[in-house]
Structure 1
């Protein structure tokens, strides 16, 4: 069994250890085990990670993060940055995942798409830390939405972090350096310097930024190697 399989099993054991909000009907309709995490999709050797809040219905059905309406915008934007053309071809959009990693703050779907609270995020944080610090080889994360960005607050000076986010005119153009850390299976502390570049969440409900998101994503990707 690989270390990654051990990580996924450990998440499921934690999920089974105590109740927390889960959208059981969606998992049942998709014929999926609700305690089995949908941890990531893509290439663990990629340089770029897109980091969302949590899973939606489409993600549960497909068994991978960021594949619904918002995730499709992300994949389309990534394809555009690579090939300098747009596409709606599902196979082509799936193929771009060879160059990126997709994951979330919590690898489960909350009921009614309501954000998970601090306790649930804290409960699953050590596992996400292991994924990003130990298993993923990249060092540039693009966060999608406020919840996703603020997940990284513990990994840098709190005052610096808050000042960065308070700059509403520039926070979606700038990036902030953090030091991720995780404990491996032998109890050793592993650290990794990582650059965090926030973007607004590309949901159709986000009226302020939805139409702007494709251009904002292209501006981010123009400064990256992938």
Structure 2
């Protein structure tokens, strides 16, 4: 599933008004820095992944979650679904078609630093709209603190505090939490978040444990080849 022309134009307009997009990398791969990198997928996919922002490889291929961290996710998905090692890069792209992919901001930042709250707010309305109206699933595996706490943006203080408190729990990577989003048109939808650590190789604390934690989540959510759609 792709963006509608009006959504594409809305993203391009916001990007044109955003400082910090890594123009050098977009230029290197001959990509338009105003085009958002959003995976989306079929409307009726049961499980979604919500991450932070694209990196260099995501710009290169025009797909989210395709770089080092994304490959860690995709390898675990492939092994879980098919019971064997993922054979190659093309297999990693193909396995992604069974899941919905989305980020806090669909543009690569300079230096791969997390986008500021100002920029995340800048894109929040559009990302909300995609989650609420372009996807029928309501189960999201979030990757890292930035992605998880995104769900508190523009919500009441009590809700932000509730998310912060959940993230501090020892069992946050085994538990889940429900959150409600509302888009600019007043449409609301409740999602269940299943947080995991960020899968970056730089995340030394959790990188080695990530595949096992993701496998645990996939078991918890009964992810299997005959149970990928709503």
Same fold (TM over 0.5): yes
Match of 1:13?
Answer: 13
Cα distance, 1:176 vs structure 2? 0.5
Matches within 5 A, 1:49-128: 49-128=48-127
Give RMSD over aligned pairs: 1.6
CA contact (8 A) 1:41 1:97 kept: no
CA contact (8 A) 2:128 2:181 kept: yes
Structure 1 residues 130 and 90 mapped into 2: Cα distance closer, same or farther (>3 Å)?
Answer: same
Unaligned runs of 5+ in 2: none
Unaligned runs of 5+ in 1: none
Distance in 2 (CA, whole Å) between partners of 1:132 and 1:166 is 25
1:210 aligns with 2:207: yes
Distance in 2 (CA, whole Å) between partners of 1:53 and 1:190 is 24
Distance in 2 (CA, whole Å) between partners of 1:203 and 1:3 is 27
Instruction: Specify the SS of the correspondent of 1:33.
Output: coil
Instruction: Report which of the two has the higher share of strand.
Output: 1
Cα distance, 1:147 vs structure 2? 0.6
Off by >6 Å, runs of 4+ in structure 1: none
* Paired positions, count: 219
Match of 2:195?
Answer: 198
1:181 aligns with 2:175: no
Distance in 1 (CA, whole Å) between partners of 2:6 and 2:219 is 36
CA contact (8 A) 1:40 1:64 kept: yes
CA contact (8 A) 1:53 1:148 kept: yes
Distance in 1 (CA, whole Å) between partners of 2:42 and 2:98 is 6
Provide, for residues 89-113 of structure 1, a one-character-per-residue CA deviation record: whole Å limited to 9, x for no partner.
2222222122101121001010011
1:220 aligns with 2:217: yes
Match of 2:163?
Answer: 161
Instruction: Specify the SS of the correspondent of 1:222.
Output: helix
Cα distance, 1:39 vs structure 2? 2.2
Cα distance, 1:3 vs structure 2? 6.5
